[in-house]
Structure 1
């Protein structure tokens, strides 16, 4: 039997842990979770918090995780991904960004496509990276960005049930307009799955697209 691989995960909120644990449950892997909502809170609320300070903090977090004998590091927070400066890192393990397999998927959708966020602070960085990804692979984008305002505070306050209900309500309104819809944040996955089960319509999310990347990167065994 192969040695069990170790994956270090950096989250901005503890609610992301369950998503990753469930998605990777079929595989022979040990997952170490590192959660720090403090950086996100400072980005949202401290006016003079500089981007360079944020980049340094993320760099320190990644380097700390790399020292815990992991085989790869997964970053689940879209804001952390946008802040990270790859050229400032010199660590021996690969970094997997949750949204890159997601970008690859949505870049291949030719029809008009609605991409939803609940956290306004993640939109600019995510869309900048998405456009760069599309340009790199010579893909065209036909995307409308919709921000579901006044919802993200619920998840940050631990009111996940209310958050899921509100996001699901808005998703249902949009899905009946016969639009192709994706949700950009991991925190929106449960609500998307609720609406999928109720309507039978598919809603793409980053969790659906990242598992094959992890399996390939770490050469994981299926244990079921």
Structure 2
């Protein structure tokens, strides 16, 4: 009998569930259990006071549900965790760490796209810290696709993906080394990759291998 590892996935929006399900669809060793708390996205725009302890409380609750590891898919959640001391007995996997690992291997100037401006500062600070810790140098430029994130929040997925693809066409005309920083942008990045000869780095590219190394 196959003994499966239970991976609790913490999302800020339900739309991220399908991306993680697709990534692990052929991994029999892992059982995914999804937890969604969209309230944090609304609260971050009002300020972050006290929110870190809310996330810490949520992670403690997930651990008590017999998880073997926790995957955090929201970069806002990840940035907030820098403010608190976790006391969990299971691995906490941050979705941006394998993404950073890949970015730090890039030798050429690189453009990172976001749709949610609230995630930029936290993500880029963590990327700089990761590069410093691993003695890597990075040459990145950030671009935010304005007035787009609200589309996915309101369930307008096709319009959201189209807006990202249009932005990728513009950026690709100027820069061949591109990534998208948010999980919600992966589908559009993949579609654009099929239509062009530009490879877009995204948070799912090396996630499964990274998770399997963490929970074996």
Does TM, normalized by the shorter one, top 0.5? yes
The answer to whether the aligner puts 1:21 opposite 2:28 as a matched pair is no
The answer to whether the aligner puts 1:60 opposite 2:37 as a matched pair is no
Gaps of 5+ in 2: none
Number of matched pairs: 215
Tell me the TM-score normalised to structure 2 length.
Answer: 0.96
Cα offset, 1:2, TM superposition: 3.7
**What's the secondary structure of 1:208's corresponding residue?**
coil
Of 200, 209, 213 in structure 1, the residue corresponding to residue 210 of structure 2 is: 213
Equivalence for 1:34: 35
Of 157, 180, 185 in structure 1, the residue corresponding to residue 182 of structure 2 is: 185
Cα offset, 1:35, TM superposition: 0.6
Distance in 2 of aligned mates of 1:158 and 1:110: 37
Could you say which structure has the greater relative contact order, defined with CA pairs below 8 angstroms and 6 or more residues apart?
Answer: 1
Contact 2:56 2:84 (C-alpha < 8 Å) held by counterparts: no
Alignment of 1:69-218 (within 5 A): 69-85=66-82, 88-218=85-215
Contact 1:112 1:179 (C-alpha < 8 Å) held by counterparts: no
Tell me the TM-score normalised to structure 1 length.
Answer: 0.92
Distance in 1 of aligned mates of 2:210 and 2:132: 21
Residue 213 and residue 86 in structure 1: after superposition, are their counterparts in 2 closer, same or farther (change >3 A)? farther
Structure 1 stretches of 4+ with a deviation exceeding 6 A read: none
RMSD: 1.2
Contact 2:111 2:175 (C-alpha < 8 Å) held by counterparts: no
Gaps of 5+ in 1: 220-224
